[in-house]
Amino acid sequence: MSIIRPRLAEPVTKVNTENSWSFDNLTQKDTNYLTHCYHRYPAKFIPQLARRLILENSLDGDIICDPFYGSGSTILESILQNRIALGTDINPVAHMITMAKTTPLDPSKVSKTKLFLHSQLKNLPAKSEYDIPKELSKWFDQETYDVLNHLLLQIKLIKPRKLQLFFLCAFSHILKTSSYWNNGSVKPHKDKTKFLNRVNDPITRYFNQLKKMEIRNEQLINTLSPKILNNLDYYRRVYVGDLQDLPKDEECSLIVTSPPYVISYEYRDIHSLSLSFLQDFFKDIPSKQNFIGSSHRKTDDNNLYSYTGGMIADSLHDHSKALSKTVYSYFIDMQNFFHKSYDLLKTNGKMAVVIGNTALRGVDISNTQVFDEILATVGFTEHKIIKRKIPFKCLPTTRDPKTGRFVSSDTNHNKSYSHEYIMIYSKN
């Protein structure tokens, strides 16, 4: 089944930009308010965007779902606005972050536990007791690994689990800056000279992060309404998995999500430090093929509802058969996701998908056109398409294929994007 939608027959780039949705006056401090600062996350969904979508498209007590919750921005904003937050993510690191940043903790217990860690870290063994695992040996020297591993062993002793997650989140946050991973690169890219002119001090880095998180935890307690504080597990329901793992009796009023982009990143790789260090804390660690958008992803060939999607895959075929298949599989995965989302929404419920158009090997990847064709065929009705500018101070236009770093040149590299689109659709 394939269709051509007249609504988007012209390039979506001709939709006028709505400046009020760009939030280009915000600083990093503004977008990291409250517990949004707990952990770095690539392509982070800014909370102001999620909050506005929630306020304009739902009511108090409604169920808001984010099926790719990532760092938990939509989940946190939902409970802050007295909604029920429902979400899934296949990445256990995402679940750890989201649980930590949405769980208010007794400040005295946080302080007491921090003092415990301080005392335990005075007894760092003089001799290495553990070999560096192969997957971490590229990123840490023996001395740094020993310090981090000793810290992690102490965190393992913390109870209850919700308190432990707070301290695990801070640990995960400092891994990149404590390693030889290039700080400016999203993808795994080693910087051998990173610590030539400065001391690598992960313990100071860790306790500095804890200090910031302590302050924000108290702010969260003072911000959440009493009914949320007293019944958190009712208002926050987050799972590791995908939409099919959600309880079957849930009916959402609004889905707010930013799905992964096709091979923009290997999402398993960009969380590899945390997944390797914290594997004992996670039940299941997904392989690359489990992540939508990965070049390792294998999807059964199905009938794609989008004529445009088929044309894009065909255009890529001359460059790379494997790449063409990956892009086609990505669109099939998103098609299956839209089917599940339709079933999850109640009648007159809405879905807001934040996505941008990009390019691969010189071929335009018109995600908005493809998504529109699929959504219409699934049964959704277009409510509104919003074009928003992404401030250049936050996101330049191209990405270096070797390092994953954003660069200023727009030649020879895979294009990133200066605008993205909020596609709001209704289930009638």
pLDDT at 133: 93
pLDDT in tens, the chain (428 residues): 444 454 554 556 678 899 999 998 999 899 999 999 999 998 788 999 999 999 999 999 999 999 999 999 999 999 999 999 999 999 999 999 999 999 999 999 999 999 999 999 887 777 777 899 999 999 999 999 999 999 999 999 999 999 999 999 999 999 999 999 999 888 899 999 999 988 999 999 999 999 999 999 999 999 999 999 999 999 999 999 988 888 777 789 999 999 988 876 778 899 999 999 999 999 888 787 777 777 777 777 679 999 999 999 999 998 899 899 999 999 999 999 999 999 999 999 999 999 999 888 889 999 999 999 999 999 999 999 999 998 744 444 454 544 444 454 444 445 556 889 999 999 98
Could you give the CA distance from residue 31 to residue 36 in angstroms, rounded to a whole number?
7
pLDDT at 409: 42
Long-range pairs, 338-342, Cβ under 8 A, ≥24: 338/371, 338/374, 338/375, 338/378, 338/380, 339/378, 340/67, 340/242, 340/243, 340/244, 341/67, 341/243, 341/255, 342/378, 342/379, 342/380, 342/427
pLDDT at 103: 98
Query: Measured between alpha carbons, how far is residue 31 from residues 18, 98, 322, 368 in Å?
Result: 19, 16, 38, 26
How many Cα atoms sit within 13 Å of 1 on the Cβ side? Answer: 10
pLDDT at 45: 84
Task: Give the residue from 37, 105, 25, 106 showing the smallest Cα distance to 72.
Answer: 37
* Secondary-structure breakdown of the chain: helix, strand, coil percentages, each rounded to the nearest 5: 45, 15, 40
The set of residues, in sequence order, having a beta carbon less than 8 Å from that of 275 and lying 6+ positions away, is: 92, 93, 268, 282, 285
pLDDT at 400: 54
CB 416 within 8 A of CB 406: yes
Other beta carbons less than 10 A from residue 137's beta carbon: 12
CB 376 within 8 A of CB 5: yes
pLDDT at 392: 47
Measured between its terminal Cα atoms, the distance across the chain in Å is: 22
